[in-house]
Amino acid sequence: MSKIRVPLTALLAAAAAITLSACGSSSTPSSETPSADAELTTIASGKLTVCSDVPYAPFEDFDEGSELGYTGFDIEIMNAVAENLDLELVVKDQGFDGIQSGIVLNSKQCDVAASAITITDERKANLDFTDAYYDSEQSLLVAVDSDIKSIDDLDGVKVGVQKATTGESYATENAKGAEIVAFPSDAEMWPALQAGQVDALLQDLPVNIEHTKDSGYTIVEQYDTGEQYGFAVGKGNTALLEAVNGALSAIREDGSYDTIYDSYFAVN
């Protein structure tokens, strides 16, 4: 797993020159939140509200010992972004379908979506993505005693995927003859594999790597799909998009990104 080494465009100056309109849901009045330059606004005063589908380790997971209540690569990166913007991070657990479709962002339930979201043209119709922050691959996870050795062995086999993900798309297109079983999240997929309700999981490599920590499971194949993750904001939210891009650039330059990355993905 390699880091993206192309520097992100420095856009903090541009963000400081643009004013984001105050926004809010129909049930909760909006509140303006000035950033350090008193021009950027968010949906809750002094806070950057982030929606994430939890659990999806190592990117997002519950952590009762954390002040945020959550941990993971995405969470730590977004916390560094929030600190760079002089805002306090708040995390909301939301279903992935509502996140990737743009519903939770465009209805002003949160400012940013951070949930291992692969950047696709289809999603760009409803979301605006930041610069890519992570390269990913798909993978096939099975029990160590399984007869499944590759995607070619999935004919007549139940394969668990997460609904509305690129893993589901890849399985549908390439797992010929497989019975694709779509789950709301990894929180349902993983127990289904353990219980024998499905015979394999096809999803993002880092998440399946987490499951190999249980010695009873192994990854039999990886698929280089050229995917990249991006954080997302509501369509047309240019000021926030540029501010987050600028903060991402800043944490790359000061080494914070690499420190967080290495804590999750460095090979010993």
List, for residues 126-182, the tens digit of each pLDDT value: 999 999 999 999 999 999 999 999 999 999 999 999 999 999 999 999 999 999 999
- Rg (Cα) of the chain, in Å, rounded? 19
Mean pLDDT (the chain) is 88
Q: pTM of the full predicted structure?
A: 0.79
CATH classification of 12-133+230-265, choosing from 3.40.190.10, 3.40.50.620, 3.20.20.70, 1.10.1660.10?
3.40.190.10
* pLDDT given for residue 266 in this prediction: 77
- 29 token code pair: 């009045």
51 class by beta-carbon count within 10 Å (0-12 exposed, 13-18 middle, 19+ buried): buried
Write the pLDDT tens digit of every residue in 48-84. 999 999 999 999 999 999 999 999 999 999 999 999 9
3-state secondary structure of 95: coil
Fold: same for 12-133+230-265 and 137-225: yes
* pLDDT given for residue 18 in this prediction: 32
Instruction: Give the residue extent of every domain in the chain.
Output: 12-133+230-265, 137-225
Architecture of domain 137-225: 3-Layer(aba) Sandwich (3.40)
User: Closest by alpha carbon to 167, among 147, 153, 151, 149?
Assistant: 151
